[in-house]
Amino acid sequence: MDELFEKIIAGTIPSEKVHEDEHTYAFLDINPTAPGHTLVVPKQKSTNIFDIPESDWLAVMKTVRMLAPYIKEAMRADGLNIVMNNEPAGHQVVMHAHVHIIPRFEGDGLKPWRGRPYEEGEAQRVAEKIRSLL
């Protein structure tokens, strides 16, 4: 699956392109969560958030922000989820960085992530662990 999106960008594998610019390519997901589900990818291959150069990440974010209201309007959606899966543990299947734009509808039944509150003192310990690496 490593080269799949490179072939889509190059046009050797067909896709329903919705937008293209110098640094990014956006196309419909072949197996949409809802019609209009769009993937935005950097043209230059990165695996995911951990190796994408900042400039490509910013280009992807710019394209996502530009497309979001048009996708919402075109699909008459009530909302959108913007999601990036990273690494197999994060449900990443295609190892070329990509951001999902997923139209959402009132009552569409998609479940939000489950959460659980922190235990006493846990949030401070967790935040400190992250801060200590920055």
Nearer to ligand 5GP, 27 or 36 (CB): 27
Query: Minimum distance between the CB of residue 115 and ligand 5GP, rounded to whole angstroms?
Result: 21
Question: DSSP string of 41-87?
Answer: EESS---STTT--HHHHHHHHHHHHHHHHHHHHHHT-SEEEEE---S
Active site residue 96: no
- Which residue among the candidates 37, 96, 98, 100 is catalytic per the annotation? 98
Of 6, 45, 94, 104, which one interacts with ligand 5GP (CB under 6 A)?
A: 94
Question: Which tokens in the block code for residue 49?
Answer: 């958030």
CA–CA separation, 98 vs 63, rounded Å?
Answer: 12
For the segment 114-133, give every residue that binds ligand 5GP (CB under 6 A): none
Scanning residues 7 to 66, which ones bind ligand 5GP (CB under 6 A)?
15, 27-31
**Cα 68 from Cα 54, distance rounded (Å):** 21
Chain residues binding ligand 5GP by CB under 6 A are 4, 15, 27-31, 85, 91-94
Catalytic residues, which ones?
A: 98
